[in-house]
Amino acid sequence: MIQVLYVSFNKKLPEDIWHRHLHRLPRTIQNKIRRYVRWQDRHAGLFGKLLLLEGLRDYGYPRSCLESLLQNEFGRPFLNSEIDFNISHSEEYAVCAISDKGRVGIDVEAIRSINLTHFQDYLTNEEWQAITKSGKPHETFYHYWTIKESVIKADGKGLSTPLSDVIIQNRKALLKETVWFLRELNLHPRYKCHLATNLENSEIRIRKLGEHFLNGV
């Protein structure tokens, strides 16, 4: 089963709640979160790890499990060969996908007005044509972008794999020899989010965490 947890936030936590949440995490992760300049990024980084803790608890992992986080040669974090996870955040949303079978990658992006020509090289000619002919070009762009990012993140080789190598075919994507199965997650009209996994017909459970989670109740 694949579990997807997500949370949305639009304001800073009170200092006491912020520190209570932060101190639930290993010191190395705390330090990384503190290095973000914007409070929004600090909160998103914090909530991503708390979502991971919450999800791993359902699989029987203790709160201390993040002390055992490792990284592969490309910097992708992992715990062991029995569980896979991936985290993404953008503006007011943080999401975490956890799988006890197969690989998983997830990407969420706020739909923003950007200069799309800067990203043309990351897309196939067919994708670029679909974007330029779309009545909602930015929405179409982020549809493709989150698919490609989710596949790259599931593959686990990071920026060493060009996004243009991800070939999208309806609800599947090809990356070299591997087929990735896609699921679009409709979290909010102003966001695009995609999940990629290497197992077909995986059961997916989606769970939104609310005020109790944010406030540490």
Looking at the DSSP bridge assignments, the partners of residue 208 are 6
pLDDT 10s digits, 38-55? 999 999 999 999 999 999
Asked whether the predicted pLDDT for residue 29 surpasses 60, the reply is yes
Of 177, 125, 127, whose CA–CA distance to 148 is shortest?
A: 127
Report residue 215's pLDDT band, with 50, 70 and 90 as the boundaries: confident
Q: How far apart are CA 23 and CA 25, in angstroms?
A: 5
pLDDT tens digits for range 105-163 = 999 999 999 999 999 999 999 999 999 999 999 999 999 999 999 999 999 988 788 99
The reported pTM is 0.95
Alpha-carbon dihedral angle through residues 191, 149, 180, 65, given to the nearest 10 degrees: -90
At 22 the pLDDT is: 95
Looking at residue 53, its pLDDT comes to 95
Average of per-residue pLDDT values in the chain: 94
- Whether residue 217 has pLDDT greater than 80: no
Beta strands at 204-208 and 2-8: parallel, antiparallel or unpaired:
parallel
Q: How deeply is 82 buried, as exposed, middle or buried, from its count of CB atoms within 10 A (0-12, 13-18, 19+)?
A: exposed
Identify the three-state secondary structure at position 55. helix
Residue 84: strand pairing partners: 99
**Tens digits of per-residue pLDDT, 56-105?**
999 999 989 999 999 998 989 999 989 999 999 999 999 999 999 999 99
Q: Are 76 and 158 in contact (CB under 8 A)?
A: yes
Q: What element of type H or E holds 106?
A: strand 104-110
Q: How far apart are CA 145 and CA 30, in angstroms?
A: 29
Tell me which fold the domain 2-214 belongs to.
Answer: Ribosomal Protein L22; Chain A (3.90.470)
CA distance 166 to 101: 22
